Structure 1
Amino acid sequence: MQCPMDAAASGTSPVMQFHGIVDEPTSHSSPLHSVLERSQRHCYGHETPGAAATDELLICLSCQATCTFFSKPANFAPNFALSLPEVAAFDMCQKRPIFKLITQQEKEHLKQKCGGSWKLVFKYIVVRERNYSQVVAGPGHSIVITTKGDVYSFGANCWGQLGLGDTEDRFTPCLIRSLQGIKIIQAAVGSRQTMLVSDTGSVYAFGKGSFVGAEFSDAADHITTPKIVESLKGVFVVQAAIGGYFSAFLSREGRVYTFSWGRAERLGHSSDPSDVEPRLLSGPLEDVLVAQISAGNCYLLMLAYQPTGMSVYSVGCGLGGKLGHGCKNNKGTPKLIEHFRTLSFNPVSVAAGTWHAAALGDDGRVCTWGWGHTGCLGHGDEEYKALPTVVQGLSSVKAVHVSTGEYTTFVVSDNGDVYSFGSAESLNLGFQEDEEAADDADFSTPNLVESLKVLNEKAVQISPTNSSYWLNSEMGYPHTFALMESGKLYAFGGGIKGQLGVKLSEGQDRLQNPERVPIDIC
């Protein structure tokens, strides 16, 4: 069906009134920004470079900075104490959304927390930005963000989780028109819920309004158009994550906030399921700069930035060993996963699946841990792992991206190939020939996804559904998106609610091979 303009598009929405004055978009026409874009496209495609590559990129920036600063005035006062690489790094930091509405004192504080160097600040920003989610496959509905910051939604809409002003399902991508003029940089999707983060640090939420069961909710809990989360207005948010029973938010200052836990382990603080006040996670994270958060069904992973290397903290439910501490105990406060040091593994990205977890190292290795059902850890068995364990089946692969769903894991290599392992029941691993073959096949070790390989496209990001199927079975089987370097988007897996962005044939409930979604990211 054709997507109607929702009510908020008329300008009468409180969201639009709240944002009557919209920040002007950052200029992208400077020579320095142009050379950065050319360098990224040449070396990394459209992917943001990893932290290990930032020094090489800064060399290019330093050369261009010489011409830039002599040919035209800089956009900040000269500081003769800074070296040329430091000047280039500072100039690039100035252009990032994280530096919007930030005082000079706050800039200096961030610089000190990063190790006293603008190059280290720039590395921190790059690590953070490379973990933003442009495409999210939720349980029954999907969200896609373009490079311009526009947002498209499609799939199940029973609680208004598409943000289109109604509760009708959509089978093709629909632009959320009420967000026009607002640049969205990151999305989080949960069961009947959606949250979006803007480049000015605001969080917009729609869909189910709380984590209480449907039997305790009423029509007032349906939010059908994006609304600002009022309790976060004092926090400049750069990332949001939604678990099975909680939400988590990462601030510009590297602090983590959570609310609505509603279970025995309450992520370091006591709160009710209906609690809408963000609670700061402190304790061991008091002086730690967090660069990324990732939420599983009942636990949270946090990637912490340090000048000497990265580290990972975990908190929540420890069943199956998914907290990575060598035991199955729950943790009510964040705890450092120490085993990465034993492995000489420097993590640059983490992925908290529903029941298992994965981490990407700066050397291209991949570690997994937690429940091992259906071989989702990639170690050739279904045993759980309570400590991060390197996936030996990827020893000849240099990974640049890792993602996890419910008992599924995807890895993208530096040449754009995709490997997957775990549950193939919903056809969302992408490499099985048919359902009968999937029943007999062994997917407990990494396998090349041939159905993506034959597209002759370089993959940059894979997004599988990351939620409990038995809690969302009415939404159909899980599905997966593959984002290509060209900006093309492909989908496969379950799609009865329209979550694939393509209409299925009569009687069809799953898409066996990847099919192009009619939307370009770039």
Structure 2
Amino acid sequence: MADRNRSFPIDDLPSHLILEILTSGKRLRAVDLASLELTSRTFGGSHGVYPTKCRSLVDLAAFQLCTTNETYIGMSYSNQRGVFERCGGNWKRVLRFLQSVEQSSDMVQTSAGNMQITTGRYHTLLIRNSSVYSCGSSLCGVLGHGPETTQCVVFTRINFPSPANVIQVSASQNHAAFVLRSGEVAAGLNFTVFLTRQGHVYTCGTNIHGQLGHGDSQDRPSPKMVELLERVGTIVQIAAGPSYVLAVTDNGVVYSFGSGSNFCLGHGEQQNEFHPRAIQTFKRKGIHVLSVSAGDEHVVAVDSSGYVYTWGKGYCGELGHGDEIDKTLPQHLVSLKSQLAVQVCARKRKTFVLVDGGAVYGFGWMGFGSLGFPDRGVSDKIMRPRILDCLRGHRVSQVSTGLYHTVVVTQRGRMFGFGTMSEHNLVMTH
């Protein structure tokens, strides 16, 4: 009996067993592996027994976790090699990049619980442990607290008619949509797009510009599957602008449809598209897009190597290229090429880029302080990406912006907001 309870030094365990412990359940983050590597020669030494591309047992664990990651699996070999080289041949950094991408678009796992933040035009929605909270202006009842509520100055829980386990929310100008364990949702000005766990896309609402993707301009009062997207592969992400839609497949191809104004569809012209159409700039160059963000007048995308691309209307510098020239096709944002972007966020005339180290860059229109630079005027223009000094010391996991306000969630579960709702100063909420 005594032998059963005897403890063994970690150094006495065989390498394959330690590796099994490190990779079991995919619970460890890249930062956890890095910390382990510093604690013991068992974790940090190469011992000459691991594959040449793995520097240590921990690096081998990171490699195995990467190869089972859905985002990584969906990349071509050349794109897998590209992100590995971008990360300096360090599998722990590749894993951190992949995990950061997932957290930026899903629930953030924090010490305060699982959280997700989404901003509408004048309001903010928060999911915390499957419960939904809202604050801001309740135009058209968008806060979900009934017609008598016109605004909430603090986060207030939304009561659903029946028990609801909400896993995602999308906020638009005058409405919000919620997903209950089925997939993803994106809300446009007067229409909504749904993405199921199986990769099927449904749309409903106004269809003047063909933004529902059914090949016509007929409105749909109830969700209908976009059948043309069934032929292109599995859709893994959607984004909706005021009157257009972007859909990303598991092999990194971006399809767009709806209003062609401001070149947001990425085809080099401003004509409407009533059917989903692939953006050829990415396909021709073999660029695997991970996610896109649809702004009012421009679009931002991040690829599998953490590079950022922008296109659309260039007013106020929202494209980040140092000018106000419209970009009719996706263009690489070279000023951020030294950074590994994990999330992009676009709204009216401004853009945010979250990088894998947790820093946030902003550019475009100051929007009454919502760009996060207190040393600049409320209507100034930031023409190139600039790091938000007000967030230094905080590792940001998600960012979302409305018309005049912006909110971020940190890895520790803190929320910071800036813009008109906070008198242009950085504030913290819980």
Letter in 2 for 1:370: G
What corresponds to 1:487 in structure 2?
413
Indicate conservation of the 8 Å contact 2:120/2:173, yes or no.
Answer: yes
Indicate conservation of the 8 Å contact 1:39/1:57, yes or no.
Answer: no
Paired residues for 1:335-354 under 5 Å: 335-354=277-296
Indicate conservation of the 8 Å contact 2:101/2:343, yes or no.
Answer: no
2:322 is aligned with 1:361: no
Indicate conservation of the 8 Å contact 2:361/2:387, yes or no.
Answer: yes
2:236, 2:34 → 1: CA distance?
A: 21
1:44, 1:196 → 2: CA distance?
A: 37
Tell me how far 1:287 sits from its aligned partner: 4.2
Paired residues for 1:21-420 under 5 Å: 35-39=25-29, 42=32, 59=64, 131-132=105-106, 134-146=116-128, 148-168=129-149, 169-178=151-160, 181-199=163-181, 201=182, 238-269=183-214, 270=216, 272-273=218-219, 275-283=220-228, 285-306=230-251, 310-420=252-362
Name the CA shift for 1:158/1:135 in 2 (closer, same or farther; >3 Å). same
Indicate conservation of the 8 Å contact 1:348/1:360, yes or no.
Answer: yes
1:125, 1:251 → 2: CA distance?
A: 21
Name the CA shift for 1:255/1:300 in 2 (closer, same or farther; >3 Å). same
Tell me how far 1:56 sits from its aligned partner: 6.0
Indicate conservation of the 8 Å contact 1:434/1:512, yes or no.
Answer: no
How many residues were matched structurally?
353
1:335, 1:460 → 2: CA distance?
A: 31
Name the CA shift for 1:136/1:365 in 2 (closer, same or farther; >3 Å). same
Indicate conservation of the 8 Å contact 1:157/1:167, yes or no.
Answer: no
Letter in 2 for 1:514: L
Deviations along 1:111-133, whole A, 9 cap, x unmatched? 9x999xxxxxxxx9997775237
Please tell me the root mean square deviation across aligned C-alpha atoms, in Å.
3.2
Name the CA shift for 1:253/1:32 in 2 (closer, same or farther; >3 Å). farther
What corresponds to 2:11 in structure 1?
none
**Aligned structure 1 segments of 4 or more residues deviating by more than 3 angstroms:** 31-35, 55-58, 124-130, 177-181, 270-273, 341-344
2:156, 2:259 → 1: CA distance?
A: 36
Name the CA shift for 1:268/1:457 in 2 (closer, same or farther; >3 Å). closer
1:513, 1:129 → 2: CA distance?
A: 26
Deviations along 1:374-420, whole A, 9 cap, x unmatched? 01000111111111101011122121111111111101112111111
User: Secondary structure, in 3 states, of the residue corresponding to 1:277?
Assistant: strand
Question: Mind listing any 5+ residue stretches in structure 2 that lack a counterpart?
Answer: 1-20, 36-59, 77-97, 108-115
User: Secondary structure, in 3 states, of the residue corresponding to 2:164?
Assistant: coil
Comparing 152-161 and 361-370, the one that deviates more = 152-161
Indicate conservation of the 8 Å contact 1:155/1:170, yes or no.
Answer: yes
Indicate conservation of the 8 Å contact 2:29/2:99, yes or no.
Answer: no
Name the CA shift for 1:33/1:491 in 2 (closer, same or farther; >3 Å). farther
Deviations along 1:280-330, whole A, 9 cap, x unmatched? 212354242100000011110101013xxx111111111221111122221
Indicate conservation of the 8 Å contact 1:128/1:292, yes or no.
Answer: no
Indicate conservation of the 8 Å contact 1:431/1:448, yes or no.
Answer: no
Comparing 403-412 and 277-286, the one that deviates more = 277-286
What corresponds to 2:93 in structure 1?
none
2:424 is aligned with 1:512: yes
Deviations along 1:118-165, whole A, 9 cap, x unmatched? xxxxxx99977752372111112210012x212111112243222224
Question: Mind listing any 5+ residue stretches in structure 1 that lack a counterpart?
Answer: 1-30, 46-54, 62-84, 94-110, 116-123, 202-237, 466-476, 496-509
2:250, 2:241 → 1: CA distance?
A: 21
Q: Structure 1-normalised TM-score?
A: 0.62
Name the CA shift for 1:407/1:433 in 2 (closer, same or farther; >3 Å). same
Indicate conservation of the 8 Å contact 1:284/1:335, yes or no.
Answer: no
User: Secondary structure, in 3 states, of the residue corresponding to 1:59?
Assistant: helix
Normalized per residue, which structure has more strand? 2
